[in-house]
Structure 1
């Protein structure tokens, strides 16, 4: 390989669809560093459409699917262009874009397992004039895996085993953990909701996209009957490998619980926060394998109430943020997809079978070439 530093751009919109994270990443001697990053806002109408579809509240005909695919692709391309403009970097300096796309359905179990992330990568490549790599999850699903989470491989790369055993906790719409052993072993899975349900309830009750600082939850009290009903969901008892998303944990799921009736909205928010904290820390306790600390990243690190609730349940484990290791917690996942794009370019596997349950390592992602001049 050349000693010249390489630039890759990672793009992702998570299950909360609260914006497209774009991270321009430099790789030098295999080590990634964040050059520049931003979160590009979704147009309000498009975000609303995404959330309705992703929460399994609507069905798409083929025309609706095609239009949504292109609209998302165009917005991803605008996010990439904004990131390059901010960094003062020309498209020709970027080796490739790694686009996660927007998940609208994740069904890794059953007779015909599948996962679906949309955002037309041909549109992104055409608009940016940069080779774009997308559709990272389906090769893992085809190999019998969950297709998720994919970030533990990057966590293991950037937070080396020499730092000691640890759990990396990603607090997106869904929470996932990566358990990094000092022997180089890596396991990981989705624990269940992190911010997604709380964001959706806050949007319904306050017309706000998220609970800033956890103030709404802090103003309420946990309802033990509702909490017990939510914790009884079979997903929480499943052993890993496992993964989930908004098509399972959404407001319609919450509305099925009769214990919800008559509760003050703030009490529901407090209960949803407790659900996230309890399920996360239970799985860390069960699968943490001697970890001494938990390193948190993702948008949930800004929810002080959630972080306090998690910390109070961790026992002797120290809760830190990825910023303590020089990694911006808001852009860890976007950096991961820049890294996955590079893995694809180099012909290297991007999945970890011990995490996803796939039958073996797989090179992930489909390549959409830059347009010819």
Structure 2
């Protein structure tokens, strides 16, 4: 069986798709090619709208899933072309889908998590088997269904005898703490907002998808009363395991915090939102990863220089560095994780961690759609 797998990731930032072609035949994984494709503004707006209740949701969600998969297929084709690899040489694609609702353990005690995807269509368009629906088995087993990448972080960044902290800053931020005793010593959870609120505020006030390098936030002043109101969110005090998403951290949530405060300049709100992300991430690190000497950061947040400076300021005793320095560029980490998870599914090996998700035990994740 070939050891070539594709991993695809489209996260809560809603900015597009990252994809990697990975070779697992060696002692360490090797990324053969990387590709990305942006979402059209129409698709971004529809995916964002589907995060909240609305009319005709089933119809709209099905069509959005088809549109999403066409972008996935475009990325896969580009990966194969760059690597001069025929689709028949790839064992499977790990396609996470686009999370639009995440309510584990809610309502009936089991809850649900919903990722828009059309894996059957992706298999048709690419001629490659597709592994999808990674989260639902863990939710069925009583878990959060997220985060799923800590097991991958352990495989890639773990160091025997050392505590390693890895922070992913996508739309939502999540922390992995890799303990010195390897398999039985991994903790992972969602810290809270990552880029989602910053991006949404920037889009609303500047008409731009994100605050490039945090330059706009750097012109503002952190508003203490707003920051205090944001930090009173009960989620931040909940113990791990825990996970969250746009169901909680959205513009409606922010508006509710702003309504009781005096009007403030938009750049000051942006500065405060950036400080919120830095603060909740740093608090998570100090609470759960005190023995670590370094914080490895991946995801789009790495490219926000102002945010990275604020993280370092909150964590003066740690070296805050990009995953690039550890062999995986920041935008490749989560995509590579889903290639790794797909391989685990094909091999019928468990890839969830009970301590991370709170499920009754480790499970084989994912559903297979043959080519």
Coarse TM-score class (shorter-chain normalised): over 0.9
In the alignment, the residues of structure 2 paired with residue 287 and residue 197 of structure 1 have an alpha-carbon distance, to the nearest angstrom, of 24
- Which residue of the partner structure matches residue 82 of structure 1? 78
**How do 1:56-205 and structure 2 match up within 5 A?**
56=52, 58-110=54-106, 111=108, 112-162=110-160, 164-184=162-182, 185-205=185-205
Q: Secondary structure at the match of 2:50?
A: helix
Q: Secondary structure at the match of 2:21?
A: strand
In the alignment, the residues of structure 1 paired with residue 261 and residue 21 of structure 2 have an alpha-carbon distance, to the nearest angstrom, of 43
TM-score of the superposition, structure 1-length normalised? 0.95
Deviations 1:135-184 (A, max 9, x none): 00000000011000000000000113237211000011111010011111
The answer to whether the 8 Å contact 2:179/2:186 transfers is yes
In the alignment, the residues of structure 1 paired with residue 173 and residue 69 of structure 2 have an alpha-carbon distance, to the nearest angstrom, of 25
- Which residue of the partner structure matches residue 365 of structure 2? 364
State the Cα distance separating 1:8 from its structure 2 match. 0.3
In the alignment, the residues of structure 2 paired with residue 164 and residue 211 of structure 1 have an alpha-carbon distance, to the nearest angstrom, of 35
Q: Secondary structure at the match of 2:97?
A: strand
State the Cα distance separating 1:260 from its structure 2 match. 5.3
Is the alpha carbon distance of 1:12 and 1:261 closer, same or farther for their aligned partners in structure 2, counting shifts above 3 Å?
farther
The answer to whether the 8 Å contact 1:260/1:268 transfers is no
Is the alpha carbon distance of 1:132 and 1:124 closer, same or farther for their aligned partners in structure 2, counting shifts above 3 Å?
same
- Which residue of the partner structure matches residue 274 of structure 1? 275
The answer to whether the 8 Å contact 2:168/2:299 transfers is yes
In the alignment, the residues of structure 2 paired with residue 289 and residue 181 of structure 1 have an alpha-carbon distance, to the nearest angstrom, of 11
- Which residue of the partner structure matches residue 249 of structure 1? 249
Q: Secondary structure at the match of 2:226?
A: helix
State the Cα distance separating 1:60 from its structure 2 match. 4.2
Deviations 1:269-320 (A, max 9, x none): 0000010011110111001141111111111000000000000011311111
Deviations 1:203-253 (A, max 9, x none): 000010000000010010011111111101111010000000112101111
- Which residue of the partner structure matches residue 262 of structure 1? 263
Q: Secondary structure at the match of 1:31?
A: coil
Q: Secondary structure at the match of 1:344?
A: helix
Deviations 1:51-75 (A, max 9, x none): 1222x26354322222222222222
Question: May I ask how many residue pairs the two structures share in their alignment?
Answer: 366
In the alignment, the residues of structure 2 paired with residue 333 and residue 327 of structure 1 have an alpha-carbon distance, to the nearest angstrom, of 10
Is the alpha carbon distance of 1:222 and 1:259 closer, same or farther for their aligned partners in structure 2, counting shifts above 3 Å?
farther
In the alignment, the residues of structure 2 paired with residue 231 and residue 188 of structure 1 have an alpha-carbon distance, to the nearest angstrom, of 21
The answer to whether the 8 Å contact 1:213/1:304 transfers is yes
After TM superposition, the runs of 4+ consecutive aligned structure 1 residues lying more than 4 A away are none
Which has the larger displacement, 22-31 or 247-256? Answer: 22-31
In the alignment, structure 1 segments of 5+ residues that lack a partner are: none
Which has the larger displacement, 84-93 or 323-332? Answer: 84-93
State the Cα distance separating 1:261 from its structure 2 match. 4.8
State the Cα distance separating 1:37 from its structure 2 match. 0.5
In the alignment, structure 2 segments of 5+ residues that lack a partner are: none
Q: Secondary structure at the match of 1:319?
A: strand
State the Cα distance separating 1:259 from its structure 2 match. 4.3
In the alignment, the residues of structure 2 paired with residue 40 and residue 363 of structure 1 have an alpha-carbon distance, to the nearest angstrom, of 30
The answer to whether the 8 Å contact 1:23/1:83 transfers is yes
Q: Secondary structure at the match of 2:348?
A: coil
CA RMSD of aligned residues (A): 1.4
